Amino acid sequence: MNVFSHPDFDGHERVLFGHDPKSGLKAIIAIHNTNLGPALGGCRMWPYASEGEALKDVLRLSRGMTYKSALANLPLGGGKAVILGDPRQQKTPELLRAMGRFIESANGHYITAEDSGTSVPDLKIMTEETSYVAGVMEKPCADGHLRSGDPSPSTAYGVYRGLMSAVEFRMGRTDLSGLKVAIQGVGNVGFRLAKHLHEAGAELWVTDIYDDMVQRCVNELGAKAVSSDEIYSLDVDVFAPCAMGGILNDETVSQLKAKVVAGAANNQLESPVHGNLLRDRGILYAPDYAINSGGIIDVCYERMGNFDPKAVNDHIESIHSTLMEIFTRAESEKQPTHVIADQVARERFSKPAENLQSA
């Protein structure tokens, strides 16, 4: 398995491979950059088709976390971890403890959090072996009650606000009543996004690899279930990818009828050229690491030990102004939004860490 010559290797500081024969753990940790602080990023467990696919995912995801934290003005670097395996069939306490030991071996250069296929209870098991875990502490809500450390609500709310920004910019409307939205993936984040949209009066079409997730949206939110192949070509206003990355490619972009692409998934573009294709087709793309930063904002404040729900919410609300800056610059400079997002992130990334908003 080539790493340094891999097309998605981007000067990563460290790529670690972990194997525990007893528990069956096979995992990769990628630390992209720690210029602004320790690398914080989720731990994903997924039934990858191959080890090569897992490596591609972790390299791309970790790079995205560097840019996400910089764009969100957080004193953090970018990293990610992936566990190769089916979370519904192969996850065990022994495997999670082995993952905790693997994370501990990075000596604090990487801090993990929840991601697809892992949960707060999973992370709590990892804390038996490592202290480098975020998103597990109960946190105060604005109403004084406590909530789980799960950052998914913050991610979903940030995506919801970002989706509203994109709809306002592209369609000139702030009222979401009757807005037609197709959501691909309705897990922890996707379902919460769907709930926000439902409460705002939007009409929903949903798909997921797990039928029970789809049925929950149908039963609770009045969503319409569609197949994984149908989701791209629906005559809707917004396409919201909230599952795996690389889903905007030659085949799928050509099928889209939506005016806006705004969702929670990481690395939505299979390659940069597909961001160009979206622009050519008049589709406004909300760059993934700009719109889905609510979760990393949440866990950053927790990790720094001063979790103020109002401060966290205010920080998440800044996703709106960041996206509007990206959309406006992209329009005036006649560039795709992903190109401008990268430029803005690099501008912020080049600042000394002490000048970033500290959590």
What are the structural domain ranges in the chain?
A: 14-136, 152-349
* CA torsion angle 33 35 38 42 (round to 10): -40
Residues 181-237 have pLDDT tens digits of 999 999 999 999 999 999 999 999 999 999 999 999 999 999 999 999 999 999 999
Write out the DSSP string of 47-80. Answer: --SSHHHHHHHHHHHHHHHHHHHHHTT-S-EEEE
Locate all alpha helices (DSSP H) within 75-186, ordered by sequence.
93-104, 120-126, 152-171
Q: Is 80 a catalytic residue?
A: yes
Annotated catalytic residue within 80, 91, 139, 195:
80
User: Would you state the CATH architecture of domain 152-349?
Assistant: 3-Layer(aba) Sandwich (3.40)
pTM of the model: 0.85
Q: Please choose, from the candidates 156, 154, 75, 81, the residue with its C-alpha nearest in 3D space to the C-alpha of residue 122.
A: 81
* Pairing between β-strand 180-184 and β-strand 238-241 as defined by DSSP bridges: parallel
* CA torsion angle 215 219 220 223 (round to 10): 70
Q: pLDDT band for position 357 (50/70/90)? A: very low
For residue 355, the model assigns a pLDDT of: 39
Q: Please choose, from the candidates 314, 180, 348, the residue with its C-alpha nearest in 3D space to the C-alpha of residue 256.
A: 180
Fold category of 14-136 in CATH: Rossmann fold (3.40.50)
Identify whether the C-beta of residue 284 lies closer than 8 Å to the C-beta of residue 260.
yes
For residue 102, the model assigns a pLDDT of: 98
Residues 215-230 have pLDDT tens digits of 999 999 999 999 999 9
